[in-house]
Structure 1
Amino acid sequence: MPPDGAFGYVVDDEAAVRRSLALLLGAAGYAVETFAGGEDFLRRATPDLPFGCVVLDVRMPNTDGIAVLREMSSRGLRHPIVVITAHGDVPLAVRMMKAGACDMLQKPFAGEALLDAAAAALARRDEAEAAQAAQRRLARLSPRETEVLQGMVAGHQNKVIAQRLGISPRTVEIHRANLMTKLEARSLSEAVRMAMTVGGATLHRLGSAPPPPPAGAPIHPIRRPG
């Protein structure tokens, strides 16, 4: 059974399949939204999309399942995805899993099989929500603070981080204190664990450009400490 208030998103270009899956998931307790294609779903797939299981067809015109998986990954959306296809084979399954899918079912499949797959995918809810929360906090960091955090994740001492960044150890200490506050981390291990949750590639991307200024804030030249 899904957790109370679980969302289910059905993405399939066949209207009959959408209706059938919506009825199945709805009867099982999901709050269901349906989409006629990948483009329709991606317009809805913003950072505030309620957490839920995405049931995603592979072969759709314009934006197919692989494109949807990759775009969700690039947006940092960690909603569990169950892929459905009429053309399942081993290479396709491997591509889907590498792109981020939790499971793949070949049409036709029993309704119970889909419900089991969706429930198993949603069991990852805590892990996914923790990763999203970590990413939101990490996005608060300045580029320099992110660089210092990367050094911390690598296990470097302040002196080594300072040498690598061309700044003083005291400046590293200041950045560490600031990033701990922004991450709301109670310990060094918690900050490192938060960074490791989102992965090195995401952490690097978050630190590649300064965050936009708040609305209405005056714009000043950016000066990086050190």
Structure 2
Amino acid sequence: MTPSNTIYIVDDDHAVRDSLRWLIESENRRCRCYGSATEFLDDFRHGGPSCLVLDVRLPDMNGLQVQDRLTRDHQDIPIIIITGHGDVAMAIRAFKRGAHHFFEKPFSDDALLESIEEALKIDGMHQRARTEQERAMKLVGTLTRREREVMNHVVAGEPNHEVARKLDICTKTVETHRASVMRKMKALTFADLVRMGTSLNAPVHQP
């Protein structure tokens, strides 16, 4: 696990925080502990791959409210909910709203560690995808309107002659635009271009 991997623990029970800290640090993992949601939210900045182990019921707000705040602040971090028996219904609602997992106390240390590892991998993949998307969006801004049109069609798998027919231009012109798109998008292969087009999650919209 790289040094940037951080597990955030939010629980108002000091004994639970100490126990979780010991468990996580015994696996040579870095963690940060907070006794309230407000303390965590005021301090949290999403850096490298990370996850949040969150008690669903805290003195200042509940797990659903923490989820809402993170969503509002565009902080997309995987959340693992821990809950007492009386709060299972709330934990299930948090899970349905996107929490990575939830555990009812007492829970298995091994199961929690496995869930944390999964959450870190997911967060790492999401961060790489966001980086790829940001890069693609920046590069696509260098394309002309016609090059954007050609890119939309070719990354959809359409052959050059079909693109030419749809855009009412000759095939040679499509080939020229396609080569220009590859160069401007810094795509070494057509597969690179398709991956960047996919990362945009939508057609390359024209201004």
Q: Distance in 2 between matches of 1:25 and 1:57?
A: 16
By how many angstroms is 1:197 displaced?
4.7
Q: Distance in 2 between matches of 1:42 and 1:198?
A: 30
TM-score by length of 1: 0.60
Aligned length in residues: 192
By how many angstroms is 1:33 displaced?
0.6
1:215 corresponds to? none
- State whether structure 2 residue 79 is matched by structure 1 residue 81: yes
C-alpha contact (below 8 Å) 2:80/2:100 kept by paired residues: yes
**How do 1:112-131 and structure 2 match up within 5 A?**
112-124=110-122, 126-131=124-129
Q: Distance in 2 between matches of 1:63 and 1:50?
A: 26
- Percent identity, aligned pairs only, is 26
1:41 corresponds to? 40
Q: Distance in 2 between matches of 1:101 and 1:198?
A: 25
Q: 1:107 aligns with which of 105, 119, 124?
A: 105
1:210 corresponds to? none
Match of 1:59, SS?
coil
1:12 corresponds to? 11
Whichever of the two has the greater Rg, that structure is: 2
Cα distance per residue 1:117-150 (max 9 Å; x no partner):
21232343552232232243256368897x9599
Q: Distance in 2 between matches of 1:88 and 1:151?
A: 47
By how many angstroms is 1:25 displaced?
0.9
- State whether structure 2 residue 29 is matched by structure 1 residue 30: yes
Q: Distance in 1 between matches of 2:96 and 2:139?
A: 29
Structure 2 gaps of 5+ residues are 168-173
Match of 2:48, SS?
coil
Match of 2:51, SS?
strand
Match of 2:99, SS?
coil
Deviates more, 1:8-17 or 1:119-128: 119-128
TM-score by length of 2: 0.64
Cα distance per residue 1:50-96 (max 9 Å; x no partner):
3223211222244432233344445554443211112224x742x33
1:219 corresponds to? none
Q: Distance in 2 between matches of 1:135 and 1:70?
A: 24
- Relative distance call for 1:195 and 1:81 in structure 2 (3 A) is farther
Q: Distance in 2 between matches of 1:126 and 1:75?
A: 19
Q: Distance in 2 between matches of 1:73 and 1:191?
A: 31
Match of 2:106, SS?
coil
Structure 1 gaps of 5+ residues are 163-168, 208-223
Q: Distance in 1 between matches of 2:166 and 2:65?
A: 38
